[in-house]
Amino acid sequence: YPVDRAAEDKDSNMDLLQQYLENYYDLAKDVKQFVRRRDSGPVVKKIREMQKFLGLEVTGKLDPDTLAMIRKPRCGVPDVGQFT
C-alpha cells in the first residue's frame, strides 16, 4: 500500500511538538494524550507560552514558523518550569 506521506509528516510534527513541550515547557505527562487534539486547552496554552517566550507570533497553533523554530538546535535546559 502507498504510504500516506502527509499524514506521516503530520504525526512526526506532532511527536516533535509533544516532545518539545514536555522537555522545555513542562508539559505534564497526563496531557500527552491531548496533544493531537488541536483544541486541547493545556496544549494550546503551552504552545502559546512557547511562542511568546521565543518571540514568535502567538497563534496557539503549530504553524510553519513555530515548527521551524522547534527544529533549530538549542540548549537542553528547559525554558520554563522547575529545573531539575
Partner 1 sequence: TFPGLPKWRKTHLTYRIVNYTLDLPREAVDSAFEKALKAWEEVTPLTFSKIYEGEADIMIFFAVREHGDFIPFDGPGNILGHAYAPGPGINGDAHFDDDEQWTKDTSGTNLFLVAAHEFGHSLGLYHSADPTALMYPVYNPRTDLTRFRLAQDDVNGVQSLYGPPPMSSPDGPAGPTESVPPEPGTPATCDPALSFDAVSSLRGEILFFKDRHFWRKSLRTPEPGFYLISSFWPSLPSGLDAAYEETSKDIVFTFKGNQFWAIRGTEVQAGYPKGIHTLGFPPSVTKIDAALFDKEKEKTYFFVEDKYWRFDEKTQSVEPDFPKKIADDFPGVDSKVDAAFEAFGFYYFFSGSSQLEFDPNAKKVTHVLKTNSWLNC
Residues binding partner 1 (CB under 8 A): 24, 52-55, 69, 71-79, 82-84
Minimal distance in Å, beta carbon 72 to partner 1? 5
Minimal distance in Å, beta carbon 36 to partner 1? 21
Chain Cα centroid distance, residue 12 = 11
Task: Write b or e for each residue in 45-63: b if 16 or more Cβ atoms lie within 10 A of its Cβ, otherwise e.
Answer: ebbebbbeeeebeeebebe
Which of 1, 84 has the CB closer to partner 1? 84
Which of 34, 56 has the CB closer to partner 1? 56
What is the rounded CA–CA span in Å between residue 62 and residue 2? 26
